[in-house]
Amino acid sequence: ISVTVMNPSGVWLNGAVSQMFHLMAVVCLACVVLKAIQLYWRKRKLLKIFKSFPGPPTHWLYGHLQMLQQEDELDNTASWAEKYPHCHPVWLGGFLVFLWINHPEYAKAVYIGSDLTSSFALCSSIGQGLLILNGPKWFQHRRLLTPGFHYDILKSYVTMMADSVHVMLDKWEQLITQEKSVELFEHVSLMTLDSIMKSAFSYQSNCQTDRSVPGDEQGEGWGSEGGGEWKGRGVEGAGLGCPQSLLLVPFRDDFGKMTYTTMCIKETLRLYPPVPAIARELSAPVTFVDGRTLPKGLTTCLYYSLQVFDPLRFSPENSAERHSYAFLPFAAGPRNCIGQQFAMNEMKVALALTLLRFEFSPDPAKPPIKIPQAILRSKNGIHLHLKKLQ
Ligand code: HEM
């Protein structure tokens, strides 16, 4: 590289600039070499750590990324779990590795021996909520929020949840056609948003009925099928005025009696965990039941498994025999899901009220395609045929 400078000392300046560029090139090269050496040692160290943990074959540069980015990712991970029933390494590229946990005893060791950092705090920047906070601030917030999720407080939310469900079901009644299935995911998402806004923030968002509500990104999604009609219709009118709402008074205390419904919900959460993978950073070395150890680092617990739908596995007798770390859709340990009872209540209310009004059957032409992002969802939505019960 040469730069010409038009002044009497031009020759000298030209040489100095060229020397500077040479120096910069040497520094850059040194940095690249240093980084390459660092990566080499890191890879050697990781290979040594994970020597006693056999796993699926891996590409030297991509690791298992190619298999994880395919549409059948969950089937891949489930087949890995069958082959390595305790745990196995998963490489995200050539230099980043997680231990994928498949066995409850291993999950227990990780939850007990890990830091209190949540997986979301490890990998995202979505604000400053409890989910993201760490250290003393997390502890303080968690302690402040816990009373808000007390059984009695949650009970008082049931009527509001039912209101939101009724608004959703009213919309479905308008969308039913004999031959066309209905995409339900967006409706259910809006219903849960509506319900949490009302119960946690005492805010009537009307997000299910008002197309202009900010945050309703779908906009046209449901609106195109008659959304305008919903605008301005009060939640009260749609929900409490309906005869089924009379059921709510006994309903509120009947959660404990909904044993089979609860079993179905748990079995669904086991087969399709909304949070399909959880990462935990080890704050100290962990020794597993078989004597293998792992030093400080990242570890992932995955709960997705392909098995037969069988709610009876959650009957009291069968549950008594199960390992306490075998069913963890809400995680475990101090950073478990603070909203799990809220969520269970909401699912029971929604399921019970929905089944009072509709019969469902899947649309064979549009089966859901599972994609595990931060949450497990269907790439093409959830299409079901609805039939109104008389
Ligand atoms: C079916 C529904 C739900 C599932 C499966 C679920 C699952 C989970 C899981 C697995 C975690 C741990 C994440 C991690 O540490 O990496 C978590 C944390 C959390 N969940 Fe849920 N959740 C659900 C519903 C809710 C609801 C309705 C609320 C609020 C009302 C809620 C609030 C939270 C909060 C605040 C945390 C962070 C807790 C902490 O770090 O101390 N969740 N949830």
Q: Which of 337, 340, 341, 344 to mutate to test the pocket of ligand 1 (most atoms within 8 A of CB)?
A: 337
Sorting pLDDT into bands at 50, 70 and 90, what band is 10? Answer: low
Distance 302 CA to ligand 1 centre (A): 15
Structure tokens at 313: 């596995």
Distance 133 CA to ligand 1 centre (A): 13
Question: 193: Cβ below 6 Å to ligand 1?
Answer: no
Indicate whether 178 pLDDT > 50: yes
Sorting pLDDT into bands at 50, 70 and 90, what band is 324? Answer: confident
Give tens-digit pLDDT for 104-136. 888 888 887 666 566 655 555 555 677 778 788
3-state secondary structure 165-180: HHHHHHHHHHHCCCCC
Structure tokens at 254: 């009947």
Give tens-digit pLDDT for 45-84. 999 999 999 999 999 899 998 888 776 677 778 888 889 9
> Can you tell me which residue has the tokens 């890995």?
80
| Per-residue confidence (pLDDT) for residue 322, from 0 to 100 | 86
Q: Please report the sign of the dihedral spanned by the C-alpha atoms of residue 46, residue 51, residue 55, residue 60.
A: positive
User: What are the CA-CA distances from residue 271 to residues 74, 143, 240, 314 (Å)?
Assistant: 11, 31, 34, 13
Which residue's CA lies nearest to atom 9 of ligand 1?
330
Question: 333: Cβ below 6 Å to ligand 1?
Answer: no
pTM: 0.78
| Per-residue confidence (pLDDT) for residue 171, from 0 to 100 | 95
Give the mean pLDDT of 270-284: 84
Higher pLDDT: 349 or 10? It is 349
Which residue's CA lies nearest to atom 17 of ligand 1?
337
Distance 330 CA to ligand 1 centre (A): 6
Indicate whether 222 pLDDT > 60: no
| Per-residue confidence (pLDDT) for residue 204, from 0 to 100 | 92
Best CA proximity match to 386, nearest among 162, 161, 174? 174
β-pairing, 297-302 with 97-101?
Answer: parallel
Percent of the chain with pLDDT over 90: 43
Q: Ligand 1: which atom is nearest the Cα of residue 118? A: 15
| Per-residue confidence (pLDDT) for residue 136, from 0 to 100 | 87
Structure tokens at 121: 């705090």
Indicate whether 226 pLDDT > 50: no
Mean pLDDT rounded to a whole number for the chain = 81
Higher pLDDT: 202 or 125? It is 202
Tell me the helices (H) and strands (E) count for the chain, helix number first.
15, 11
Q: For the purposes of burial, counting CB atoms within 10 Å of the CB of 130, is it exposed (0-12), middle (13-18) or buried (19 or more)? A: middle
Structure tokens at 370: 């599972």
Evaluate whether 31 touches 39 at the Cβ level (below 8 Å): no
Indicate whether 219 pLDDT > 80: no
| Per-residue confidence (pLDDT) for residue 224, from 0 to 100 | 37
Best CA proximity match to 162, nearest among 224, 238, 214? 238
The verdict on whether residue 123 carries a ligand-binding annotation is no
| Per-residue confidence (pLDDT) for residue 233, from 0 to 100 | 38
Give tens-digit pLDDT for 17-54. 888 889 999 999 999 999 999 999 999 999 999 999 99
Question: 331: Cβ below 6 Å to ligand 1?
Answer: yes
Question: 142: Cβ below 6 Å to ligand 1?
Answer: yes
Q: Ligand 1: which atom is nearest the Cα of residue 343? A: 27
Structure tokens at 158: 């049931």
Indicate whether 262 pLDDT > 60: yes
| Per-residue confidence (pLDDT) for residue 218, from 0 to 100 | 43
Sorting pLDDT into bands at 50, 70 and 90, what band is 166? Answer: very high
Q: What burial letters (b/e) apply to 221-247, b meaning 16+ CB within 10 Å? A: bbbeeebeebeebebeebbbebebbee
| Per-residue confidence (pLDDT) for residue 229, from 0 to 100 | 36
Question: 235: Cβ below 6 Å to ligand 1?
Answer: no
Give the mean pLDDT of 265-294: 88
> Can you tell me which residue has the tokens 């209190």?
116
| Per-residue confidence (pLDDT) for residue 309, from 0 to 100 | 76
Question: 311: Cβ below 6 Å to ligand 1?
Answer: no
Q: What burial letters (b/e) apply to 20-45, b meaning 16+ CB within 10 Å? A: eeeeeeeeeeeeeeeeeeeeeeeeee
| C-alpha neighbours within 13 Å on the C-beta side of residue 333 | 16
Sorting pLDDT into bands at 50, 70 and 90, what band is 271? Answer: confident
Evaluate whether 278 touches 298 at the Cβ level (below 8 Å): no
Give the mean pLDDT of 305-316: 78
Indicate whether 358 pLDDT > 90: yes
Best CA proximity match to 205, nearest among 165, 171, 164? 164
Give tens-digit pLDDT for 131-161. 778 788 888 999 999 999 998 899 899 999 9
Sorting pLDDT into bands at 50, 70 and 90, what band is 179? Answer: confident
Compute the distance between CA of residue 5 and CA of residue 64 in angstroms, rounded to an integer: 53
Percent of the chain with pLDDT over 70: 78
Evaluate whether 195 touches 164 at the Cβ level (below 8 Å): yes
Q: Say how many C-beta atoms besides its own lie within 10 A of residue 252's C-beta.
A: 16
Q: Hey, what amino acid is at 182?
A: V
Widest CA span in the chain: 99
- Residue 338 CB contacts under 8 Å (≥ 6 apart), including other chains: 130, 142, 145, 146, 149
Indicate whether 335 pLDDT > 70: yes
| Per-residue confidence (pLDDT) for residue 9, from 0 to 100 | 54
Which residue's CA lies nearest to atom 30 of ligand 1?
339
What is the interface pTM, i.e. ipTM, of the complex?
0.96
Evaluate whether 328 touches 89 at the Cβ level (below 8 Å): no
